[in-house]
Copies of this chain bind each other. A is one copy, B any other.
C-alpha cells in the first residue's frame, strides 16, 4: 500500500505544510521507501518531480519543502512497491496528454490479475497495475469524447468506469487535468476543506503546526485529500467505499438534482 496526497484550491496555494508531514510517511513515520513523486499544475502546465528511495531523505523533496510552488491542483504519492519493480518508470504520479491537457494520476492499492484491453493509444511505460489502470481510463475517456466535455460529464463517465477496474482489487486514486481533482476510494481516503474562518492545525507526522489565518485571505478555499488524516486537530471526512468525488475550486462538487424530463 502506498500513500496519496491531493490538493485542489480556488486560488494558487503552496502545499509545503501538508507535504512536510506527508514526506515523513516515506520512510520515517511509515514504511514507504520505494520512491515518491509530486505533480503541480500551473495553468495548463505540469511540474512533475519524481525520485527514487525514501521521500524523507530525498534532496528533491527537500527542495519542494522549501520552494513554495503555488498550484491549484497537486497530486503526490509515496510508493511501497507491491506490483512492478522499484524503478523510476514505476513511480507515481503518471502523466499523459489528452485533448490538449495533461492528466495526472496516482494510485494506492493492488489490482490483481488486471489486464484491461489497451488498444495502443495509451501504453504503460512501466510494469505497474496502476499505470495500466490509468492508460485504460485515458483510453476510455478518449473513445467516449472527441473533445474535453464538462467536468460534470467527465465525473459521470468516471463514475461508470471506475468500478470496472475497482472490482480487481483496491483502487484508491487521485486524478487531475488541472481544472478539477477526482478522488476515488476503495478502502482508505479522507478529505478536509479549509476555508474562512481559518484555524490552526498540527501535523500528525511531524512536530509542526501552522495558523492558516496568517497565510490566507477570507476568499481562499482549499481541499486536501489524503490516505489518512495529515493533521490531528481538524475534522477529516472519510470517503465511503466505492465513492468518487470531484473537487473544484477547493470544495467537493455536489451534483444538481437532475430535472425531470417531460
| Residues in A lying within 8 Å of B, measured CB to CB | 42-52, 59-60, 63, 66-67, 87-91, 95-102, 120-126, 146
Contacts and interface: CB of A to CB of B under 8 A. Distances in A.
A97 B125 contact: yes
Contacts of A52: 42
B67 A126 contact: no
Contacts of A102: 89, 125
Contacts of A101: 125
Nearest to A121: B121
Q: How many copies does the complex hold?
A: 2
Contact of A48 (B48, B98, B122): B48
A120 B89 CA distance: 25
Given A59-B67, A63-B60, A67-B60, A44 B125 contact: yes
B97 A123 contact: yes
Contact of A88 (B47, B50, B59): B47
A122 B91 CA distance: 23
Given A45-B87, A48-B48, A100 B121 contact: no
Contacts of A89: 42-46, 102
Of A48, A67, A100, which is in contact with the most chain B CB atoms at under 10 Å from its CB? A100
Contacts of A98: 123
Contact of A44 (B45, B49, B126): B126
A1 to B, nearest CB: 22
Contacts of A99: 123
A88 B123 contact: no
Contacts of A123: 97-100
Given A63-B63, A124-B100, A47 B47 contact: no
A101 B66 CA distance: 32
Contacts of A50: 45, 47
Contacts of A49: 47, 49
Contacts of A88: 42-47
Nearest to A138: B97
Given A42-B52, A43-B87, A60-B63, 11 more contacts: A42-B89, A44-B89, A44-B125, A45-B88, A45-B91, A47-B49, A49-B49, A59-B67, A100-B125, A102-B125, A120-B146
